[in-house]
Amino acid sequence: MSTHRVKSRRYMIDLHKWRSAVALVACIVTLVLSISAITSNLIKYVDSGLGIRDLLQYFTIQSNLMTALASSFIIPYAINGIRRKRFVYPKWLSMFHYSGTLCTTLTMVFALLFILPHDRDLAIGAHNFFLHVICPIGILISFCMVESSYKYTRRDNLICLLPVLVYSVVYLTMVVIIGEERGGWKDLYLLDEFIPWYISLFLMYTLAYGIGYLIRKISNQLTVKRQEELLSSWRPDLEKVELNVELFGLGRYYGMTCAKNDVSIPFDLLEMLADRYSLDPDDLVKVYVKGLVDGIRDRETTENMKADGFLEKEDKFEKEETEVREEK
């Protein structure tokens, strides 16, 4: 029984370290893809005699900037997760990452569905294939690889559409109301070229919500799967006393294996356990903290004894006793 518990505790620490490492790699990939997409377009525009202001008119560039920022913000949390054996980051950052992924995916779908039939070069010609296809797919996969304990709701889905709404209002104003001839923008996305602009906007909003819905469903399913994987170490028929023993042991194990400044309380896990076994989460937190403190004290005592040479003397005495027994 004790061996199983040790393996279970070791497994949970290794699981969080692994998820932190995966998140770190995924965010670095996203950052590289986003910066590469922005840089390639910047070089193209500078060579054409245009400036950064012209480049920022493209929603594709703004979307890649969002994902680059989100990934760069998550990377420190992933590094900290490897060090502290626990990967968590704020809900607002998760939403920002979700919104950026939604926007880049929207640019891909919009380019393939609406721009490709009329202008192949603008949609997937030359570097645009990397910009409109490779980057969004890579960013979407990377987003799914970054673990999030949050389950997105319909309200979250709508909130993450705000960048689309803001850009569409600005784009509509500059393209339709002001117009290129009066100092506005060129109709880069052919908003009013083949169908009325209001139909184009309706299609874009519907498409954006649909993409956000699919990403939300996939992300939530992955979150549920990860939570089930996390709970797989805990038998479904555990009694309260057994659960308290396990949680105390888990806290003690963390206290003995993590640096004092790196320890944390896994509130998400404790809430899931409280829900699974119909217990008060506050009670589970108290049990875990007791184990954590006990483990920290034991580790500090052991370190002090090593520093004073007591453990080395005990080890030497036990070794001599063993040698005497073997000789007899």
pTM assigned to the model: 0.77
Percent of the chain having pLDDT more than 70? 84
Distance from C-alpha of 3 to C-alpha of 243, rounded to nearest angstrom: 16
Does 121 or 283 have the greater pLDDT score? 283
Environment class of residue 237 by beta-carbon count within 10 Å: exposed (0-12), middle (13-18) or buried (19+)? exposed
Distance from C-alpha of 157 to C-alpha of 102, rounded to nearest angstrom: 9
Label residue 126 by pLDDT band (50, 70, 90).
confident
Task: Determine the pLDDT at residue 320.
Answer: 46
Which residues lie closer than 8 Å to 69 by C-beta, 6 or more apart? 96, 100
Helix spans in 85-119 (H): 91-110
Distance from C-alpha of 176 to C-alpha of 149, rounded to nearest angstrom: 42
pLDDT digits (tens, 9 = 90+) for 67-112: 999 999 999 988 988 877 778 888 899 999 999 999 999 989 988 8
Label residue 6 by pLDDT band (50, 70, 90).
very low
Asked which of 127-136, 209-218, 251-260, 269-278 is least confident by mean pLDDT, the reply is 251-260
Is 165's pLDDT higher than 80?
yes
Nearest 5°: the CA angle 295, 298, 301 is 150
Report how far apart, in Å, the C-alpha atoms of 34 and of each of 62, 92, 133, 239, 318 are: 10, 20, 12, 50, 60
DSSP assignment string, 221-254: HHHHHHHHHHHTTS-TT--HHHHHHHHHHHHHHH
- Element (H or E) spanning 114, and its range? none
Report how far apart, in Å, the C-alpha atoms of 32 and of each of 20, 35, 38, 64 are: 18, 5, 10, 10
- Element (H or E) spanning 298, and its range? helix 281-308
- The tokens describing 179, both together, are 């117009």
pLDDT digits (tens, 9 = 90+) for 192-241: 676 777 887 888 899 999 999 999 999 999 888 887 877 777 777 778 88
Task: Determine the pLDDT at residue 1.
Answer: 44
Does 13 or 106 have the greater pLDDT score? 106
Distance from C-alpha of 155 to C-alpha of 157, rounded to nearest angstrom: 5
